[in-house]
Amino acid sequence: MIYITRKEHFNAAHRMYREEWTAEQNQEMFGKCANPNWHGHNYNLFVTIKGEVTQETGYLMDLKDLKVIINNYVVEKLDHKNINLDVDFMKGKMASTELLTIEIFNQLKKPIELHPGVFLHSVKLYETENNSAEYFGG
């Protein structure tokens, strides 16, 4: 079994808040992240696939194909967007890094695993250089 990781990058804005809470409750829970005028991050996304190397090509998967999948299903939907307002797969969900990581995994699993013998192992998302979330499926 080999593990291959592809790194991509996108910029996006979001706000942490609950509509049913008061501004004070949101501020108390989420601090600066509850800013009503949003805030943004320069996200780094790491997608790890696993499987057996094909002897004919020497690849698990052509990484150009993996790049296209990540860009079509994730980066194009998120880059320079407002996660709370513009991203179809985040509608009705809290725009936390944790939930965003899970939803990115869900977006990528099927198109990646259409390639024979290739499995999505994990998605790791860095919101800042110090904060990240990683999801292995569930």
Chain centre to alpha carbon of residue 72: 13
Lay out the sheet containing 81-82: strands in order across: 81-82, 2-14, 39-51, 118-126, 132-135
**Other residues' Cβ atoms within 10 Å of the Cβ of residue 71:** 14
Q: Is 24 a catalytic residue?
A: no
Tell me which of 28, 39, 76, 80 is the catalytic residue.
Answer: 80
Q: Is 80 designated active site?
A: yes
127 is catalytic: yes
Among candidate residues 8, 33, 115, 134, the one labeled active-site is 33
- Catalytic residue, candidates 14, 103, 121, 127: 127
Q: Which residues are catalytic?
A: 33, 80, 127
